[in-house]
Amino acid sequence: MAEFEPKIVAFVCNWCTYAGADLTGTSRIKYASNVRIIRFPCTGRIDYMLLIKAFDEGADGIIVSGCHPNDCHYTSGNFHARRRWIMFRDLCNLMGIDMQRIKFSWVSAAEGAKWAEVVNSTVTDIRALGPYEEYRRILNHHSKEVTNG
Amino acid sequence: MRENIYLPYQMKIERVTYEAPGVKTFMLKFINEEDREKFEFKAGQFGEYSVYGVGESTFCIASSPTRKGYIECTFRQTGRVTNALSNCEEGSIIGFRGPYGNVFPIEEWKGKNLLFIAGGIALPPMRCVIWNCLDLRENFRDVTIIYGARSVKDLVYKHELKDWELRKDVKLITTVDPGGESPDWRGEIGFVPTIVEKTAPSAKDTIAIVCGPPVMIKFTFPVLAKLGFSDDNIYTTLENRMKCGFGKCGRCNVGKVYVCKDGPVFTLAQLKDLPDEY
Amino acid sequence: MDELKNKVRELLGSGTVKVFIGYTTGTAGTKRALFAEKPEDAEGLVFDSSCIQNLAVYVTKQEVKEKGMMGISATLPVMRSLVQLARENQVSDSGIKVIGITPESRLIDFGNLSEVEKYIHQFQLEIDQKNRDMLEKLDKMTVSERWQFWLKELEPCFKCYACRAACPMCYCHRCTVEYNQPQWIPVPSHASGNLQWHIMRAVHLVGRCIDCDACANACPLAIPFNLLNKRMIEDARKHFGGYQPVLSGDHLMSTFKPDDKENFIR
Amino acid sequence: MNIEKRFIRKDSLKKLFDALVAKNKVVYAPVTRNGKTSFRIVNDFSLISGDYIQTTQSSKEVTFPRTEKILDFEKNKDGIGVKPVDIQPVHESVIWGIRPCDAVGKGELGAIFNWDSKDEIFNARVAKTTLISFSCSRADEYCFCTSVGGNPGNTEGSDILLTLAGEGGDYLAEIITEKGGAVMAAAPELFEKDPGIEKDKYLASLPARFSHTEIRNKLDKFFESEEWARQSLRCIGCGACAYVCPTCACFDIQDESHGKSGSRVRCWDSCGFSLFTLHTSGHNPREVQSQRWRQRIMHKFSYMPERLSVYGCTGCGRCSRGCPVDMNLLEHLISIQEVTV
Contacts of B27 (CB under 8 A, 6+ apart): B13, B14, B15, B16, B17, B63, B70, B71, B72
pLDDT of residue D237: 94
Buried b / exposed e over B21-51, threshold 16 CB at 10 Å, is eebbbbbbebeeeeebeebebbbbbbbbbbb
Q: What is the band of A141 on the pLDDT scale with cuts at 50, 70, 90?
A: low
**Residues A71, A42 contacting (CB under 8 angstroms):** no
State pLDDT tens for residues A110-134.
999 999 999 999 999 999 999 999 9
Q: How far is CA D82 from CA A137, B8, D79, D85, D257, in A?
A: 23, 9, 10, 10, 13
Of the candidates D33, D67, D263, which has its C-beta nearest A149's C-beta?
D33
Touching pair B, C by Cβ (3+ pairs < 8 Å): yes
Q: What is the band of D341 on the pLDDT scale with cuts at 50, 70, 90?
A: low
pLDDT of residue B175: 94
Average pLDDT over residues D208-229: 92
pLDDT of residue D87: 77
B82 touches chain D (CB under 8 A): yes
C191 touches chain A (CB under 8 A): yes
pLDDT of residue A140: 64
pLDDT of residue D19: 94
**Residues D104, D156 contacting (CB under 8 angstroms):** yes
What would you measure as the largest C-alpha separation in chain D, in angstroms? 70
Q: How far is CA D255 from CA B10, C184, C200, in A?
A: 16, 13, 21
Contacts of D144 (CB under 8 A, 6+ apart): D206, D208, D209, D210, D315, D317, D329, D330, D333
Residue B120 burial by Cβ neighbours in a 10 Å radius (0-12, 13-18, 19+): buried
Average pLDDT over residues D235-254: 95
Which residues between 112 and 141 in chain D have a beta carbon less than 8 angstroms from any beta carbon of chain C? 140-141
D191: left (phi over 0), alpha (psi -120 to 50) or beta: beta
User: Looking at beta carbons, which residues of chain D come within 8 Å of A149?
Assistant: 31, 33, 38, 40-42, 47
DSSP B25-53: EEEEEESSHHHHHH----TT-EEEEEETT
Please state, in angstroms and rounded to a whole number, the distance separating the CA atoms of residues B196 and B201: 9
pLDDT of residue B178: 92
Number of helical (H) and strand (E) elements in chain A, helices listed first: 5, 4
pLDDT of residue C122: 95
Which residues between 184 and 243 in chain C have a beta carbon less than 8 angstroms from any beta carbon of chain D? 186-190, 217-224
For residue A25, give how far its alpha carbon lies from the nearest alpha carbon of chain D (Å).
28
- Contact between D257 and B261 using a beta-carbon 8 Å cutoff: no
Q: Name the closest residue on chain C to residue A102, using Cα atoms.
A: C264
- Contact between C180 and B83 using a beta-carbon 8 Å cutoff: no
Of the candidates C151, C258, C264, which has its C-beta nearest A89's C-beta?
C264
Q: What is the ipTM of this complex?
A: 0.92
D127 touches chain B (CB under 8 A): no
User: Looking at beta carbons, which residues of chain A come within 8 Å of C147?
Assistant: 95-98, 134
- Contact between A149 and D263 using a beta-carbon 8 Å cutoff: no
State pLDDT tens for residues D291-333.
999 999 999 999 999 999 999 999 999 999 999 999 999 999 9
Could you tell me which residues are beta bridge partners of residue B60?
B46
Share above pLDDT 70 across residues of chain C, in percent, rounded to a whole number: 100
Element (H, E) at C6: helix C2-14
Alpha helices in C121-190 (DSSP H): 129-140, 143-154, 162-166
State pLDDT tens for residues B21-37.
999 999 999 999 999 99
- The alpha carbon of C118 is separated from its chain's Cα centroid by a whole number of angstroms, namely 19
CA angle C46, C52, C55 (to 5 degrees): 80
**Residues B120, B154 contacting (CB under 8 angstroms):** yes
C-D CB pairs within 8 A amount to: 109
Element (H, E) at C237: helix C226-240
Q: Is the pLDDT confidence value at D146 over 60?
A: yes
Element (H, E) at D79: strand D79-84
Share above pLDDT 70 across residues of chain B, in percent, rounded to a whole number: 99
Please state, in angstroms and rounded to a whole number, the distance separating the CA atoms of residues C201 and C189: 15
Q: Name the closest residue on chain A to residue D265, using Cα atoms.
A: A142
DSSP D181-194: HHHHHHSGGG-EE-
Alpha helices in chain A (DSSP H): 17-26, 48-56, 77-95, 112-129, 133-136
In a 3-state reduction of DSSP, which class is residue B76?
strand
- Contact between D285 and B278 using a beta-carbon 8 Å cutoff: yes
Residue B262 burial by Cβ neighbours in a 10 Å radius (0-12, 13-18, 19+): buried
Please state, in angstroms and rounded to a whole number, the distance separating the CA atoms of residues B20 and A18: 40
- Contact between C180 and B79 using a beta-carbon 8 Å cutoff: yes
**pLDDT by position in tens, chain C (length 266):** 789 999 999 999 999 999 999 999 999 999 999 999 999 999 999 999 999 999 999 999 999 999 999 999 999 999 999 999 999 999 999 999 999 999 888 999 999 999 999 999 999 998 999 999 999 999 999 999 999 999 999 999 999 999 999 999 999 999 999 998 888 999 999 999 999 999 999 999 999 999 999 999 999 999 999 999 999 999 999 999 999 999 998 889 999 999 999 999 99
Residue D244, number of CB atoms within 10 A of its CB? 27
Q: What is the band of B98 on the pLDDT scale with cuts at 50, 70, 90?
A: confident
- Contact between D223 and B95 using a beta-carbon 8 Å cutoff: no
User: Looking at beta carbons, which residues of chain C come within 8 Å of A92?
Assistant: 199
Please state, in angstroms and rounded to a whole number, the distance separating the CA atoms of residues D100 and D204: 12
A26 touches chain D (CB under 8 A): no
Of the candidates A90, A96, A142, which has its C-beta nearest C149's C-beta?
A96
For residue D41, give how far its alpha carbon lies from the nearest alpha carbon of chain C (Å).
13
Single out the residue of A141, A143, A130, A138 nearest to residue A52, CA to CA.
A138
Alpha helices in D93-190 (DSSP H): 100-114, 120-127, 178-186
State pLDDT tens for residues C118-168.
999 999 998 999 999 999 999 999 999 999 999 999 999 999 999 999 999
User: Looking at beta carbons, which residues of chain C come within 8 Å of B83?
Assistant: 181
Single out the residue of C212, C214, C210, C176 nearest to residue C196, CA to CA.
C176
Q: How many residues does chain C have?
A: 266
Please state, in angstroms and rounded to a whole number, the distance separating the CA atoms of residues A24 and A115: 7
What is the pLDDT of chain D when averaged over all its residues?
92
pLDDT of residue A142: 52
Pairing of β D129-134 and β B9-20: unpaired
Which residues between 242 and 301 in chain D have a beta carbon less than 8 angstroms from any beta carbon of chain C? 242-244, 252, 254, 256, 265, 267-268, 270, 273-275, 288-290
Q: pTM of the full predicted structure?
A: 0.93
Of the candidates C26, C27, C158, which has its C-beta nearest D66's C-beta?
C158
CA angle B198, B200, B205 (to 5 degrees): 150
What would you measure as the largest C-alpha separation in chain A, in angstroms? 57
For chain C, list residues whose CB is within 8 angstroms of any CB belonging to chain B.
180-181, 183
Please state, in angstroms and rounded to a whole number, the distance separating the CA atoms of residues D88 and C171: 45
State pLDDT tens for residues A80-104.
999 999 999 999 999 999 999 999 9
For residue C107, give how far its alpha carbon lies from the nearest alpha carbon of chain A (Å).
37
- The alpha carbon of B79 is separated from its chain's Cα centroid by a whole number of angstroms, namely 19
Contacts of B61 (CB under 8 A, 6+ apart): B41, B45, B46, B47, B71, B72, B73, B98, B99, B128
Please state, in angstroms and rounded to a whole number, the distance separating the CA atoms of residues A62 and A47: 13
- Contact between A49 and C135 using a beta-carbon 8 Å cutoff: no
What is the pLDDT of chain C when averaged over all its residues?
94
The three-state DSSP-derived secondary structure of D33-53 is: ECCEEEEEECCCHHHCCCCCC
Q: What is the band of A146 on the pLDDT scale with cuts at 50, 70, 90?
A: very low
pLDDT of residue B1: 44
DSSP B113-169: EEEEEEEGGGHHHHHHHHHHHHHTGGG-S-EEEEEEESSGGG-S-HHHHHHHHH-TT
Average pLDDT over residues D153-166: 94
Average pLDDT over residues D246-275: 92
Contacts of D22 (CB under 8 A, 6+ apart): none
Best of C174, C178, C179, C181 to disrupt the B interface by mutation (most B CBs within 10 Å)? C181
Q: Which domains does chain A carry?
A: 8-136 (3.40.50)
pLDDT of residue A147: 40
Single out the residue of B94, B85, B125 nearest to residue B29, CA to CA.
B94
pLDDT of residue B276: 84
User: Looking at beta carbons, which residues of chain A come within 8 Å of D91?
Assistant: 145
Could you tell me which residues are beta bridge partners of residue B206?
B113
Please count the CA atoms within 13 angstroms of the CA of B13 that sit on its side-chain side.
24
- In the DSSP assignment, the letter for residue B56 is E
- Contact between B6 and D112 using a beta-carbon 8 Å cutoff: no
Average pLDDT over residues B83-104: 94
Q: How far is CA C185 from CA B195, C116, C188, C192, D273, in A?
A: 47, 36, 9, 9, 16
- Contact between A91 and C231 using a beta-carbon 8 Å cutoff: yes
- Contact between C221 and D234 using a beta-carbon 8 Å cutoff: no
pLDDT of residue B2: 58
Q: Name the closest residue on chain C to residue A147, using Cα atoms.
A: C155
Element (H, E) at B100: strand B93-100
Beta-strand runs (E) in B212-273: 234-237, 253-254, 257-258, 265-267
Q: Which domains does chain B carry?
A: 9-100 (2.40.30.10), 106-237 (3.40.50.80)
Identity of the amino acid at A13: C
User: Looking at beta carbons, which residues of chain D come within 8 Å of C26?
Assistant: 326, 328
- Contact between A142 and D47 using a beta-carbon 8 Å cutoff: no
For residue D3, give how far its alpha carbon lies from the nearest alpha carbon of chain C (Å).
36
